[in-house]
Structure 1
Amino acid sequence: MTLGDNTKPLRGTISEFQKALASAIDEAKALKAKTDELAGQLATPGADADVISAFVTTQNQRITQAVGWIEASGM
């Protein structure tokens, strides 16, 4: 057995972490874009409270999922 053999499982773990982190970053970028969109809607007279409530619920779910990905990656 060589040192290279011992690091193969670690490389897989690092790769999985990088994928999870990239997904979390993408999710955060999407959240920012949606938040910016919502800010524009709130600035519009007659903003629909149901639409805003649905948006907030969806974003909370997405944040929870992103945090789960990060936690699952071992952070």
Structure 2
Amino acid sequence: MTALGANMVGSTHDRDALLWLLDELLEAHLDTVEMILGGQSDADWTSHAEYLKGLQRLGRATIARACAQRS
């Protein structure tokens, strides 16, 4: 993380949570591409879409928490 990024995040816990979130988002994109190339079933897509929705909610909460702790 750059010095600027470190200054924007309050604690080590916030930084770790945001780095985990970034890694999970990147993995989710890779999973989506692999599913497109693999011709997955409707059930697989439904499961993956639910996972992405949950990840979005978690991401928003993680970012909000990190921002609130900086205020």
Q: Work out whether residues 23 and 66 of structure 1, in 8 Å CA contact, stay in contact via their aligned partners in 2.
A: no
- CA shift, 1:38, in A, is 2.3
- Alignment of 1:65 with 2:58, yes or no, is yes
- CA shift, 1:28, in A, is 2.2
Identity %: 5
Q: Aligned equivalents of 2:51 and 2:30: distance in 1?
A: 15
Report the TM-score, using the length of structure 2 for normalisation.
0.62
Larger Rg: 1
Q: Deviations over 1:11-62 (max 9, x none)?
A: xxx32xx4224312312211211321221121124x2111112111112112
Dislocated runs of 4+, deviation >3 Å? none
Q: Aligned equivalents of 1:21 and 1:64: distance in 2?
A: 18
- Structure 1 residue runs without a partner (length 5+): 1-13
Q: CA RMSD in A?
A: 2.0
Pair 1:72–1:63, CA change in 2 (3 A): same
For residues 35-46 of structure 1, the aligned pairs below 5 Å read: 35-45=29-39
Report the TM-score, using the length of structure 1 for normalisation.
0.60
